Structure 1
């Protein structure tokens, strides 16, 4: 039905019958009913789609709610477990282990299994007491015991299976042990002796060369310089002094630990590594003393005489020339970015200073303009005498730019604080 038909239907009834025949009126009525049904169907479809969307949204909200509750419960459980773990303290037991029973001496498999279990437990004590050299030696010793059990005994008794399970749990914490070894990198006033002990443990646990160890140490020192005083309240002068002091200490420690003066004398780190291969840690000797003479003799004869901590890389010093190259790369890397950030900071100060001058000159010009008769008459026509409208436009634009610049300034200032920081 066209628009003309629709407008005609608004006429009185008598006029309709004068202009249209009965068949035409019926056709118009039919078309109107068809249009009405079509509109109803479209409305039903639209309502149905909206209803379906509402149901889907409701289902989605319920699903999100259920997932959120599950996540909350999981987080609470993790928090509870973490709290319980934090409250537990690793304490050295009154006895490191029970005395070996006589029947163990007649069965070497039982003896090896017990040594593996006890040594795994002693590792945690060494970790707690920060005896990292003993910990690394025992870790290597446990790997040796496991290999002996695997090679010499095809049948795994319950005791051996239990020992393997304990060792599997212990070795799963290897990354934590290595992380604890490297914590000395971030400590204040660390001595070269303490550092060399931790680096020896790191080399044995991580299976790296002395050269890679030196690179890792300096890499961690660089991180320390940028991160350690992130929240410091030091002044810029104090930050610079602290940065230089820590930077010099890092270079000094590297030279004391890795440098050797005479061709026939090894560096401190190399001496410690050779000593680690020849000696038995005091913690393990104390454990053996508890077991009696029989077990001590058996362990020494059957196991310790054949064991030395194994290094995947050859224990040899870095040449002094190569060491100087490593130090030079550290110096270049640690100062290059610092210099760049300082340049950015100076540029921002200059930018801020120019904005201050721009603000002062703009406001002075606006103040001068507001006092001229021409401006007052113009302002009366445009703003009903309210000259602050145009003044605020200029002022807001300048103030916005100042705020943006200040935000960038604070960001770069924070970066510089990090570069000035030290342990």
Structure 2
């Protein structure tokens, strides 16, 4: 017998080749026995491990059999019931031929069954959100209970359940009313659904049309409040939902109460007529009653029941009073939105957010027949929900945001100015001189852009890096304001080239930006007011802090000058629609404050001049030898009848060395401050205040005991000082100078004075003409020397312009004159128009391949090439 392992590994083909038929039959039997054994082992294993599964399988088979038996039994019962019903007459108009007592009993029974059935139908209608049908069923159920109350009590007393059914109607009525209110207060609903709910309310409460309109308006107010106090992802979505709610309110009011599309009356009255009209169907016919032979016992009063309402044409036409109701609604809605949106709008932190709110809300298109709706509803002409309720709120919010932003900008700028003044650089702290900055060659002096706020463009204006940085900070803040408000004002990004005037030709877009002029005016006024506050802050801050007073005063004075030139965005904020009134006011205030700050520097120089003038007090002979220069020796002739007498006289040729030193110091201080950048009034006051100090010192000297030579030199000095520095319109200084000269002339022999005076006057003129080369910055005006014949000499040199023209002032302000020595007769220059023609600034461009020496040469060339009219204006 083959082993089990051999059977499992048996090769069938080889077995048939090697073994006989008997052996094959024996092997087959062995294999069958092995297979059966395996089956038994498998059954035993499944029985042990899957006993529950097998039991469940048997139970399922049993349940299937039992279920089939139950179905068969039910079908048999239904078949038997049908056999009983078929012989019975179901004609609802032919009552059964039974006794009267049985009829009354069955009538009560069917009414009780109807009461129970009606409760179920009301619940079904409520669940299906068909409130009008639920209301009609409720009225029918109430009518059924009224009929039952009139029946014999002996039947009713046997049915205590009836009282519970009747009490449930109260709950159902409350439920219906709640559903109606919920629908009327929903944000977005259809006119059909709203009219159904209003009719349901009308049938339940028996309201008049005017009362119904008021109730409708009140519920829509509640709907608006619901939207207002609902949490949204953004204020934009909240306001958009409110706009949608209000548009829906107007549309529902028109469609429900006034008319619907081309109909002559509103949906409410159309539906109401279908319910209570003479041709309307009965309420019972709208129900699918259960199949029962008792249907024939339903009383006629229940069969023919329909809701009642005193409906007439006058009910509709009374809506002419809707104008009063709507007017009240408009006012109350405005107040509600004004208070309700206050906190929401506070969450919007920039004007761009208001622009997005407006864009989102205006995307909501009103119905196509909106104009007709507004006209029929007695609403104002061109009524629009956004512009009527929200536009003013958004405009006010925009103006509040602008005020806050500008106030914040003012605080930041003031704080920044404080920090910069408290951390003045070493170069700036060293004094008032800008020479360290102006004459320092840098690769960035020559920029590719002519209007770049760097390099020579700033150096020749006297604007140091601190000034440029302050202006950049100020302009950047106003740029941020413009960037924020530009889309709200014009619907485009700031700096875009879109033509806003073309957009305004479209009425729709024009109305969209209806508040643009008011917002521009508000922005302009706020910027102007803040600018004035900035000016006052700078003045007060400088006055309260005495450390580095002069340096801080000059920095702030130059900043106020530069702010009106280097801040285009600041200028734009203060000058909308070419309205220059506010900008002119700002410039005037800045100039006045700048002038006040410059006076701190002037007063400091005046104090220095007072100390320097003390050297004039010493009029001893030893000191006079030090301060007196070489006198001019002049030979004069006097002819008599007999012969000619020749003699020599000496008159002063130059101002005293002490006065020249004082002049040099004054000129140096003025050159350090870059006189061509100095305001004209400050420049003149600088000269006048210092000259006043010098003249008063000479007045003290004129009261002392002077010899004739001292008197001549002092008279020369005063004449020189008066001719060179005192404007002819300054009567006070002219009179002071004249008093001093009179006293000094009194110290000179009258005969000698008569001889010397004309020569002294000529020497004064020569000295003045020669001094303008070195001290030209101390001339108060270009016409100061016109009385000396300089203008005629200028005309003579019109045909021969030269660099010496730079040594003669050509306009109202000055820059440091070049120290070029030349004979006095060639000191005059060409007129300003020739200077402009010969000094036009070339357009210089820098190549990367240029070396530093080449760049330095170009910087120097650009300096002299840049001496355009800006240097003299």
Tell me how large the CA RMSD over aligned residues is: 3.7
* C-alpha separation in 2, matches of 1:109 and 1:185: 39
SS at match of 2:181: helix
1:210-264 CA-to-partner distances (Å, cap 9, x unmatched) read: 322222222222232332263223563x655554443223212211111159xx9
Aligned to 1:280: 282
- The answer to whether the 8 A contact 2:187-2:223 is kept is no
Question: Once the 2 structures are TM-superposed, how far is the Cα of residue 368 of structure 1 from its aligned partner?
Answer: 4.9
Once the two structures are TM-superposed, the CA of residue 208 in structure 1 deviates from its matched residue by: 2.3
- Cα separation, 1, equivalents of 2:102 and 2:416: 97
Q: Which residue of 2 aligns with 1:128?
A: 127
Aligned partners of 1:310 and 1:282: how far apart in 2?
15
Shift in Å, 1:198: 1.6
Residues 271 and 149 of structure 1: CA distance in aligned 2, closer, same or farther (over 3 Å): same
Q: Secondary structure at the match of 1:208?
A: coil
Q: Per-residue deviation at 1:163?
A: 1.5
Shift of 1:128: 0.8
Instruction: Please identify, of 146-155 and 213-222, the stretch whose mean Cα deviation from structure 2 is larger.
Output: 146-155
Corresponding residue of 1:231: 231
Question: How far did residue 125 of structure 1 move?
Answer: 1.1
1:119 and 1:142 in contact (8 A); partners too? yes
Alpha-carbon shift at residue 178 of structure 1 (Å): 1.0
Q: Which residue does the alignment assign to 2:408?
A: 356
CA–CA distance in 2 between the matches of 1:354 and 1:156?
86
- Counterpart secondary structure, 2:150: helix
Residues 165 and 112 (structure 1), Cα distance of their counterparts in 2 relative to 1, 3 Å cut: same
Asked if 1:184 corresponds to 2:177, the answer is no
CA distance in 1, matches of 2:179, 2:308: 21
- In 1: Cα distance, 2:291 partner to 2:200 partner: 27
Cα distance in 1, alignment partners of residues 210 and 159 from structure 2: 38
Corresponding residue for 2:524?
none
CA 1:138 to 1:194, structure 2 compared with 1: closer, same or farther past 3 Å?
same
Structure (1/2) with the larger helix percentage: 1
Per-residue deviation at 1:330?
Answer: 2.2
Tell me, yes or no, if the aligned pair for 2:256 and 2:266 is still in contact at 8 Å. Answer: yes
Instruction: Please point out which of 294, 306, 309 is paired with 1:308.
Output: 306
> Residues 103-182 of structure 1 correspond to what in structure 2 (within 5 A)?
105-107=103-105, 108-155=107-154, 157-158=156-157, 160-182=159-181
Contact 2:184 2:197 in 1 (8 A): no
- Give the alignment's TM-score, normalised by structure 2: 0.27
Distance 1:110 1:295, change over 3 A: closer
SS, match of residue 298 in structure 2: helix
Counting only pairs closer than 5 Å after superposition, residues 16-415 of structure 1 correspond to structure 2 as: 105-107=103-105, 108-155=107-154, 157-158=156-157, 160-187=159-186, 189-228=188-227, 230-234=230-234, 236=236, 242-260=241-259, 266-277=265-276, 278-281=280-283, 284-287=286-289, 290-292=290-292, 294-299=293-298, 301-305=300-304, 307-311=305-309, 316-339=315-338, 341=342, 342=393, 345-346=397-398, 348-350=400-402, 352-353=404-405, 355-357=407-409, 359-361=411-413, 363-364=415-416, 366-368=418-420, 370-371=422-423
Q: Tell me which structure has the larger Cα radius of gyration.
A: 2
Q: Secondary structure at the match of 1:291?
A: coil
CA apart distance, 1:370: 4.8
TM-score w.r.t. length of structure 1: 0.53
Structure 2 unaligned blocks of 5 or more: 1-84, 91-95, 343-392, 425-873
Is the 8 Å Cα contact of residues 117 and 167 (structure 1) preserved in structure 2? no
1:321–1:352 Cα change, 3 Å:
same
Q: Distance in 2 between matches of 1:117 and 1:159?
A: 16
What secondary structure does 1:116 align onto? helix
CA contact (8 A) 1:184 1:195 kept: yes
CA distance in 2, matches of 1:337, 1:347: 21
Q: Aligned partners of 1:233 and 1:167: how far apart in 2?
A: 47
The C-alpha deviation readout for 1:340-384, integer Å capped at 9, x for no partner, is 652764564255335413531453355257548xxxxxxxxxxxx
Shift of 1:139: 0.9
Inter-CA distance 345–223: structure 2 relative to 1 (3 Å threshold) = farther
Query: How far apart, in 2, do the equivalents of 1:359 and 1:163 lie?
Result: 80
**Shift in CA distance, 302/243, structure 1 to aligned 2, threshold 3 Å:** closer
SS in 2 for 1:317: helix
Distance 1:178 1:361, change over 3 A: same
User: How far apart in 2 are the matches of 1:169 and 1:330?
Assistant: 38
CA distance in 1, matches of 2:164, 2:213: 35
Greater relative contact order structure (CA < 8 Å, 6+ sep): 1
Say if 1:195 and 1:159 are closer, same or farther in 2 by CA, change over 3 A. Answer: farther
In structure 1, distance between residues paired with 2:155 and 2:401: 73
Give, in whole Å, the separation in 2 of the partners of 1:300 and 1:145: 10
Distance, in Å, in 2 between the alignment partners of 1:196 and 1:222 is 17
Q: CA contact under 8 A between 1:116 and 1:146: conserved in structure 2? A: yes
CA distance in 1, matches of 2:217, 2:296: 44
